[in-house]
Amino acid sequence: MANLKKALAFNIRTGRAVNIIDLLDDIEDKLRCNIKSDIEAYTTLEEVQAETYNDEVDARVQIALLERLGYIDEEEANAMKQKAAEIRIAALTELEKEIENRKE
């Protein structure tokens, strides 16, 4: 959220355009990084699920803010929110597979 806040503040102060692609990439990169960190930091699947959900919500809030401010439209926002959900689901699915493999 800090990068988003800095970029938007810069845009307001200077009147320059915000590079939305970079902001969306930052949101996606941060989500992936946070999910990876959660998987490494927590010991139970339930803890990881809860923490990664919080990470996804954070990404959704940032996306909604960009939409509300008019930087992206509803279609773009929905696509990014869907991508955030897919990133989380893919990570959890991979983790569940690893857990199953360890049991065998």
- pLDDT, residue 19, reads 72
CA 2 – CA 74 distance, rounded (Å): 23
- Evaluate if residue 90 carries a pLDDT over 80: yes
Query: Region 92-100: what's the mean pLDDT?
Result: 90
Residue-wise pLDDT for 9-58, tens only, equals 666 666 666 677 778 888 999 999 999 999 999 888 899 999 999 999 99
The C-alpha atoms of residue 54 and residue 36 are separated, in whole angstroms, by: 13
What is d(CA 87, CA 59) in angstroms, rounded to the nearest whole number?
11
Q: What tokens does 41 get? A: 């930091």
Q: How far apart are CA 52 and CA 35, in angstroms?
A: 6
Q: What rounded mean pLDDT belongs to the chain? A: 86
- pTM (2 d.p.): 0.80
By percentage, how much of the chain surpasses pLDDT 90? 56
Q: How far apart are the first and last CA of the chain?
A: 41
